[in-house]
Structure 1
Amino acid sequence: MAYKTSGLEKSIYEYLQSVSLREPEILAQLRQETAQHPRSRMQITPEQGQFMSLLVQLMGAKKTLDIGVFTGYSSLVVALALPPEGKVVACDLSEEYTAIARRYWQQAGVADKIELHIAPALDTLDKLIAQGEAGTFDFAFIDADKNNYDNYYERSLQLLRPGGLIAIDNVLQSGRVADPQEQDKITNSIRAFNQKLHQDPRITMSLVPIADGLTLALKRP
Structure 2
Amino acid sequence: MSDFIVNEAIEDYAFLNTTREPELLQELIDETNKNMGWPQKLSGRLVGRTLKMLVQLAQPKNCLEIGMFTGYSALSIAEGMPDDGKLICCETNPRAIEFAQTFYDRSPHGHKIDVIFGRALDTIDDLTAKGELAPLDFSFIDADKRNYMNYYERVLELTRPGGMIVLDNVLWSGKVLQPESEIDDVLVEMNRRIADDPNVENTFLTVRDGMNVVRKLR
Q: TM-score, normalised by structure 1?
A: 0.91
Q: Which amino acid aligns with 1:58?
A: L
* Structure 2: tracts of 5 or more residues without a match: none
After superposing the two structures, state which structure 1 stretch, 73-82 or 105-114, moved more: 105-114
Give yes or no for contact 1:92–1:119 (8 Å, CA) kept in 2. yes
Q: Which amino acid aligns with 1:30?
A: L
Number of equivalences: 216
* Structure 1 counterpart of 2:201: 204
Structure 1 Cα separation of the partners of residues 86 and 53 of structure 2: 16
Give yes or no for contact 1:53–1:81 (8 Å, CA) kept in 2. yes
Give yes or no for contact 2:44–2:72 (8 Å, CA) kept in 1. no
1:9-56 residue CA offsets vs partner (Å, 9 max, x unmatched): 32x333322322221101111112222332112111211110110000
1:36-94 residue CA offsets vs partner (Å, 9 max, x unmatched): 33211211121111011000011111221010011111111111111211110000111
Residue of structure 2 aligned with 1:18, choices 16, 19, 43: 16
For the residue of structure 1 that corresponds to 2:105, the secondary structure is helix
* Structure 1: tracts of 5 or more residues without a match: none
Displacement of 1:140 in angstroms is 0.1
1:75-115 residue CA offsets vs partner (Å, 9 max, x unmatched): 11111111211110000111111111101111113332111
* Structure 2 counterpart of 1:215: 212
Q: Which amino acid aligns with 1:184?
A: S
Structure 2 Cα separation of the partners of residues 202 and 134 of structure 1: 21
Residue of structure 2 aligned with 1:190, choices 151, 176, 187: 187
CA RMSD, aligned part only?
1.7
Q: Which amino acid aligns with 1:162?
A: P
* Structure 1 counterpart of 2:155: 156
Structure 1 Cα separation of the partners of residues 130 and 163 of structure 2: 19
Structure 2 Cα separation of the partners of residues 171 and 88 of structure 1: 22
After superposing the two structures, state which structure 1 stretch, 36-45 or 13-22, moved more: 13-22
Q: TM-score, normalised by structure 2?
A: 0.93
- Give the alignment of 1:12-91 within 5 angstroms: 12-36=10-34, 37-91=36-90
Q: % of aligned pairs identical?
A: 37
Give yes or no for contact 1:62–1:83 (8 Å, CA) kept in 2. yes
